[in-house]
């Protein structure tokens, strides 16, 4: 799970509670907003106002651990919203068992907003909601949305529960509060944030009927889930998935087949929960055992982010759970039958997401191509037509295509097939300073700082003029899409609407120029699609 998705993320007082939200009380250095649960005070710097660390749900601690997000308790006075709240509890990459990262906490259900200074409730600005990546075990929504705000968009970033705090099943949990949804608490958190936005964003000048969700990696997978979870329908009007796939294998990190299909269902997730309890010496599956699980320290729950017991034993982390009531089907299943939300879609990935043995353990081109069986020669012709490419390049392209590119095309095609606009992007640009390091193209997540147009925020980085121009154009495409459902606008090269027939995408090329054109990866993606349709095992690592 971690591998595939790594590269693969409020009331002023009782007397004011019944009042409708009002707007910013002057664009001062400390503007205030009345939300449904209380007053929040933000900060204005230049032409951007920000509000940080606003709770959208009660702390999911104690009796609320492994419960759906609960209503925020109203507060009196003014809440200081000048600083980020904590990120959700995580170990950090390579973190030791028994510890959590600095700045992370189980009490973490907070969101942040950036908006044009002086925005009034009547402005009805488009709203973009950022869902961070991190393989569902790491990451943070504590970012910067300044540039979106400068373009007339309210940017909202959210935090959601991670690891075993975000996805967990246990027999006693399934019986407790039978009226509540179970399993994927991370997705419940995301939906709770979207509901908070529906109730409160108008007070900040936002339009609750013009909300775009977008996310990267695990955040991109979350976008697919929100497009297909019934409880999320109607809470957003547009969607963007960065490096989030769309096929079932990206949901759990493992492809569905007859051997592993059972892992999608609660009995399997419950077994994984029982394994975790056993690791901590908790026996039984009743309410007493659940109480002991809730009494564990958060550091013990995070447990170094391990998927198994640390010795290659039973799995102790499930990842997203298809429970049949809250998450009712996989995204791929919904897309194949047109049951997804009817919204415009943007979707894409980078040209060299990740190399190495990420998808397969092959050590030569011949070994890799042999995985395609009777499609072997077609795969050779698609990936290495002249027979002179380095194995590392072929492997990187295959990894990227299998996990991200073909599934993105499949997803876009499913939207186009039911008449909804779909736009595919391919990010191929590498800054001059990074070309030696990124030999075959930009890797996983490289596009995000360009979309946010915050290149200067990267440590030890001085963006070149051409880097800034790429960032300006990408941010403009994303802003246009949020405003209208169409990324095109004045001064930007045409981004064609994708259909299966025209095969058109936007390639942000290696020279930084966006070009609308036929997808140059068509032969590669076609052979991947054929192999997937045939059920061929072209990823023997079993990711």
Q: What is the pLDDT of residue 233?
A: 96
Q: What is the pLDDT of residue 264?
A: 43
Q: What is the pLDDT of residue 390?
A: 96
Q: What percent of the chain has pLDDT over 70?
A: 88
- Which part of the chain has CATH 3.40.50.1820? 10-305, 346-534
Residue 157 pLDDT level (bands cut at 50, 70, 90): very high
Mean pLDDT of the chain: 89
> What pLDDT digit, counting tens, does each position of 381-416 carry?
999 999 999 999 999 999 999 999 999 999 999 999
Res. 21: pLDDT tops 90:
no
User: Is CATH 3.20.20.20 the classification given to domain 346-534?
Assistant: no
Q: What is the pLDDT of residue 408?
A: 97
The two three-digit tokens of residue 332, written as one number:
């791929």
Q: What is the pLDDT of residue 151?
A: 97
For 116-120, 273-277, 510-514, 535-539, which range has the lowest pLDDT when averaged over its residues?
A: 535-539
Q: What whole-number distance in Å separates Cα of residue 104 and Cα of residue 384?
A: 46
> What pLDDT digit, counting tens, does each position of 47-73 carry?
999 999 999 999 999 999 999 999 999
> What pLDDT digit, counting tens, does each position of 88-117 carry?
999 976 667 778 898 999 999 999 999 999
Burial of 89 (0-12, 13-18, 19+ CB in 10 A): buried
Question: What does 421-479 look like in DSSP terms, one character per residue?
Answer: -EEEEEE----GGGTTTSTTS--TTTTHHHHTT-GGGSTT----HHHHHHHHHHHHHHH
Q: What is the pLDDT of residue 263?
A: 41
- Give the residue-averaged pLDDT of 158-167: 97
Looking at 135-242, list the stretches that DSSP marks H as alpha helix, in order from N- to C-terminal side: 146-150, 163-166, 171-175, 185-200, 218-228
- Give the residue-averaged pLDDT of 436-441: 91
Residue 2 pLDDT level (bands cut at 50, 70, 90): very low
Q: What is the pLDDT of residue 536?
A: 60
Helix, strand, coil % in the chain, rounded to nearest 5: 35, 15, 50
Residue 160 pLDDT level (bands cut at 50, 70, 90): very high
3-state SS assignment for residue 90:
coil
Q: What is the pLDDT of residue 537?
A: 59
DSSP 501: T
Give me the numbers of helices (H) and strands (E) for the chain, helices first please.
18, 16
- CB burial of 27-57 (b: ≥16 within 10 Å; e: otherwise) equals eeeebbbbbbbbbbbbbbeeebbbbbbbbbb
Q: What whole-number distance in Å separates Cα of residue 459 and Cα of residue 5?
A: 24
Res. 25: pLDDT tops 50:
no
| Nearest residue to 280 via CA among 300, 262, 294, 265 | 300
Q: What is the pLDDT of residue 218?
A: 96
Residue 252 pLDDT level (bands cut at 50, 70, 90): very low
Residue 17 pLDDT level (bands cut at 50, 70, 90): very low
pTM of the model: 0.91
Res. 260: pLDDT tops 50:
no
Q: What is the pLDDT of residue 95?
A: 67
Residue 249 pLDDT level (bands cut at 50, 70, 90): low
How many residues are listed for the chain in this entry?
543
Q: What is the pLDDT of residue 445?
A: 94
Question: What does 256-309 look like in DSSP terms, one character per residue?
Answer: --TTTGGGGSHHHHHHHHHHHHHHTT---SSHHHHHHHHHS-HHHHHGGG-SBS
Residue 22 pLDDT level (bands cut at 50, 70, 90): very low
Q: What is the pLDDT of residue 409?
A: 98
For 15-29, 89-103, 336-350, 461-475, which range has the lowest pLDDT when averaged over its residues?
A: 15-29
Q: Which CATH number fits domain 10-305: 3.40.640.10, 3.40.50.261, 3.30.70.1140, 3.40.50.1820?
A: 3.40.50.1820
């Amino acid at each position: 799970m971690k591998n595939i998705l790594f590269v693969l993320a409020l009331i002023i007082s009782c007397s004011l509670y019944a009042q409708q939200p009002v707007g910013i009380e002057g664009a001062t250095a400390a503007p205030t907003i009345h939300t449904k649960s209380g007053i929040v005070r933000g900060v204005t710097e230049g032409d951007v106002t920000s509000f940080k660390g606003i709770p959208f749900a009660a702390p999911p601690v104690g009796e609320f651990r492994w419960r759906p997000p609960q209503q925020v308790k109203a507060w009196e006075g003014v809440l200081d919203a000048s600083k980020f709240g904590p990120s959700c509890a995580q170990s950090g990459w390579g973190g030791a068992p028994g510890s959590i990262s600095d700045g992370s906490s189980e009490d973490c259900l907070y969101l942040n907003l950036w908006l044009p200074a002086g925005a009034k409730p009547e402005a009805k600005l488009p709203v973009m909601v950022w869902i961070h990546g991190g393989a569902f075990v790491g990451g943070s929504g504590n970012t910067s949305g300044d540039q979106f705000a400068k373009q007339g968009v309210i940017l909202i970033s959210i935090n959601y529960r991670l690891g075993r705090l975000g996805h967990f099943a246990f027999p006693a949990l399934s019986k407790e509060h039978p009226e509540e949804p179970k399993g994927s608490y991370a997705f419940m958190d995301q939906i709770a944030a979207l509901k908070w936005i529906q109730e409160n964003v108008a007070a900040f000048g936002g339009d609750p009927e013009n909300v775009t969700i977008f996310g990267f990696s695990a955040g991109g997978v979350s976008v697919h889930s929100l497009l297909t979870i019934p409880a999320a329908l109607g809470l957003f009007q547009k969607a963007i998935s960065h490096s989030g796939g769309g096929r079932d294998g990206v949901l759990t990190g493992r492809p569905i087949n007859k051997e592993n299909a059972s892992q999608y269902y609660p009995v399997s997730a419950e077994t994984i929960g029982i394994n975790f309890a056993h690791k901590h010496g908790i026996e039984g599956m009743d309410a007493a055992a659940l109480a002991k699980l809730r009494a564990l320290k958060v550091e013990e729950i995070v447990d170094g982010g391990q998927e198994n017991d640390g010795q290659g034993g039973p799995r102790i982390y499930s990842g997203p759970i298809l429970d049949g009531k809250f998450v009712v089907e996989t995204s791929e299943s919904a897309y194949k039958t047109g049951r997804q939300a009817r919204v415009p879609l943007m979707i894409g990935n980078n040209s060299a997401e990740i190399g190495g043995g990420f998808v397969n353990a092959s050590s030569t081109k011949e070994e890799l191509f042999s995985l395609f069986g009777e499609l072997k020669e077609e795969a050779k012709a698609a990936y290495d037509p002249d027979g002179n490419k380095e194995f590392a390049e072929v492997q990187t392209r295959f990894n990227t295509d299998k996990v991200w590119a073909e599934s993105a095309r499949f997803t876009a095609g499913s939207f186009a097939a039911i008449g909804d606009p779909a736009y595919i992007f391919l990010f191929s640009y590498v800054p001059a300073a990074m070309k030696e390091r990124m030999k075959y193209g930009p890797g996983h997540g490289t596009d995000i700082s360009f979309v946010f147009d915050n290149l200067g925020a990267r440590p030890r980085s001085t963006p070149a003029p051409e880097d800034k121009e790429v960032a300006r154009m990408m941010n403009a495409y994303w802003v246009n899409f949020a405003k209208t459902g169409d990324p095109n606008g004045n001064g930007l090269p045409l981004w064609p609407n994708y259909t299966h027939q025209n095969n058109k995408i936007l390639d942000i090329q290696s020279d930084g120029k966006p070009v609308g054109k036929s997808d140059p990866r068509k032969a590669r993606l076609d052979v991947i699609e054929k192999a997937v349709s045939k059920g061929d095992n072209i990823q023997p690592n079993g990711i």
